[in-house]
Amino acid sequence: MSRAAEAGASPGESDRLPPGIWKIASVAAIGSFMSQLDATIVNVSLPGLAGTLHAAFPTIQWVMSGYLLALALTLPLNGWLVDRIGARALYLWCFAAFTLASGLCGLAWSAPSLIGFRVVQGMAGGFLAPMAQMLVARAAGRHMPRVASMVVMPVLLAPLLGPVVAGGILTFASWRWIFLFNLPVGLLAFVLAWRFLPDDRQQVRPRVLDLVGLALLSPALVFFLYGIDRLGQRVGGALVCGGLLLFAVYGAWARRKGDGALIDLRLFGGRVFSASVGTMFLLNGALFAGQMLVPVWLIHGGGLSPDRVGWLMTPMGLGMMCTYPLMGWLTDRFGIRRLTHCGALVAFAGTLLLVFFALYGVAFSILAGALFLRGAGMGAIGIPSMSAGYAAVKRQDLPVATTALNIVQRLGGPIWTTLCAMTLGGQASAGPFMASRVFAVAFGVLCVLHALLCLTTRLLPVRLAGKPAG
């Protein structure tokens, strides 16, 4: 069977979308939205939780950290479970577990119980976003760029809406309703998923679980992500080294295991899939590093208040939101490579302006334009490059490819954020002249990241398989 056919496309295929695709995409989007929303929804409630549950702040912070680490802990199991029980069944089980854990969080009686329930919630939520991508990729085939915005947009909006939703709830109700809010939404989403997601039991191909690979890869992810967040401490450096060692051991094990490995590393032998994964890794790094650097610069270097900085950051989100709905038309019109490369160049230009502003002062109207350019440029990269990666693998390999793509993508954010933060050191609060030079260097590092992104987009295919040239 041809690669185009495996990807769900053929040269003679109609341009009409597959029947029911918008229902599938809408149901999948609810899962990714809820998973990402709960990653940030508790942030504004942490001080209140510490007082209500009589816990120290370092302890109560695990309500957030435990959830985020649990998301990474279960991610390597995604591909095996899809092959074992099917995508629809796994999605339903995870949604049920996520909703039940949300209810238990709302009934927690102490800080340890709340943290424990949040870990369970995170373990279930860790499957929802990758599953949403895979369900849409399976159903859409080569039409992925036209419908992927339905899944990607909630992932973008959820972290921004989390604190807003929490603030509204805490204004009128107890912190418990931050979690109990998920019960009616989760129940409705479960019913919709049961009704509209296609039955894929005929595609199940049970395989033996790679227990050694799981024992290496899951701790490696947790050690690395937790350690890099605390890289300035001795324990952080030790955990990062431990995580890297486990990654290396897993690499040796997976090469020996072949297609029986938890994640078959031979997938990365394909040029298009490797280019897609590398692009998503750099894109996630550019997104998170920029979201860290720009507010710190405006507060410490520009002397602005945090609430004003929040408003100044909105043009970047608006840029992404303006680009996403046009992805289908833009991809059909310009193709994968040209669109993503132009997007990378636009984002690079917007970032280069930040270096100039850091050195010579900022005009806020032009800053808004620069951030809009960054958002619009990066918005033009993610969906086409992800679609190219999915189209480059066989249909039966989509579960494992989804797992690999999400793991590498998730590592990009903390790695590049830490590298950019290290350029700041302890000098961000120094005098204005020194601070301007330090931030200019940090934005320079961010420019290097965007330059690498320009290079990887050149390795993506001109168009998706099965798309007629023209």
- 29-68: per-residue pLDDT in tens? 787 788 777 776 776 677 777 778 888 777 777 887 788 7
Asked if residue 391 is part of any domain, the answer here is: yes
Domain end marker among 241, 261, 281: 261
Written as one string, the DSSP assignment of 170-222 is: HHHS-THHHHHTHHHHHHHHHHHHHHHSPP-GGG-------HHHHHHHHHHHH
User: pLDDT tens for residues 199-241?
Assistant: 777 766 767 778 888 888 888 888 888 888 777 777 888 888 9
Structure tokens at 167: 């603030």
Question: What is the domain range of residue 24?
Answer: 19-198
Inside any domain, residue 206: no
Q: Are residues 235 and 317 in the same domain?
A: no
Is 2 part of a structural domain of the chain? no
Q: At what angle are helices 78-85 and 111-140 packed, to 10 degrees?
A: 60
Residues 175 and 257 in one domain: no
* Cα gap 134→91, rounded to integer Å: 11
What CA–CA distance (Å, rounded) separates 194 from 174?
Answer: 32
What is the CATH classification number for the domain harbouring 190? 1.20.1250.20
**Cα dihedral 95, 74, 388, 376 sign:** positive
Q: Tokens standing for 333?
A: 């019109």
Q: What is the pLDDT of residues 360-402, one digit of tens each?
A: 877 778 888 898 999 899 889 988 888 888 888 887 788 888 8
Residue 246's identity, in one-letter code, is: L
Quick check: 327 pLDDT over 60?
yes
Q: Do 188 and 100 fall within a single domain?
A: yes
pLDDT tens readout for residues 87-145: 888 888 988 999 999 999 989 888 889 889 988 988 888 888 777 777 777 777 667 77
Whether 437 maps to a domain, the answer reads yes
Q: Is residue 240 in a domain?
A: yes
Is 204 a member of any domain?
no
Shared domain check, 155 and 231? no
pLDDT recorded at residue 314: 77
Domain count, the chain: 3
How many other C-beta atoms can be found within 10 angstroms of the C-beta atom of residue 81?
20
What's the rounded Cα separation, in Å, for the pair 310 and 194? 39
Other residues' Cβ atoms within 10 Å of the Cβ of residue 359: 12
**Per-residue model confidence (pLDDT) at position 156:** 64
User: Distance between CA atoms of 122 and 30, rounded to whole angstroms?
Assistant: 16
Same domain, 152 and 293: no
Distance CA 115, CA 113 (A): 5
Q: Are residues 191 and 227 in the same domain?
A: no
Confidence of residue 11 (pLDDT cuts 50, 70, 90): very low
Contact 262, 213 (CB under 8 A): yes
Would 401 be classed as within a structural domain? yes
Residues 288, 435: one domain? yes
Do 271 and 189 reside in the same domain of the chain? no
Average pLDDT, rounded, for the chain: 80
pTM for this entry: 0.76
What one-character-per-residue DSSP string does 381-397 give?
HHHHHHHHHHHTS-GGG
Tell whether 254 and 110 lie within a shared domain.
Answer: no
Residues 240 and 318 in one domain: no
Contact criterion met (CB below 8 Å) for 462 and 437: no
178/322 same-domain check: no
List all residues 6 or more positions away from 147 whose beta carbon is below 8 Å from its beta carbon.
17, 21, 22, 25, 136, 140, 328
pLDDT of residue 279: 94
- Do 75 and 217 sit in the same domain of this protein? no
**Domain final position from 198, 230, 252:** 198
Residue 1 confidence (pLDDT) above 80: no
Instruction: Examine the pLDDT at 257 and tell me if it is beyond 80.
Output: yes
Residue 150 confidence (pLDDT) above 70: no
Has residue 9 been placed in a domain?
no
C-alpha span between 353 and 361 (Å, rounded): 11
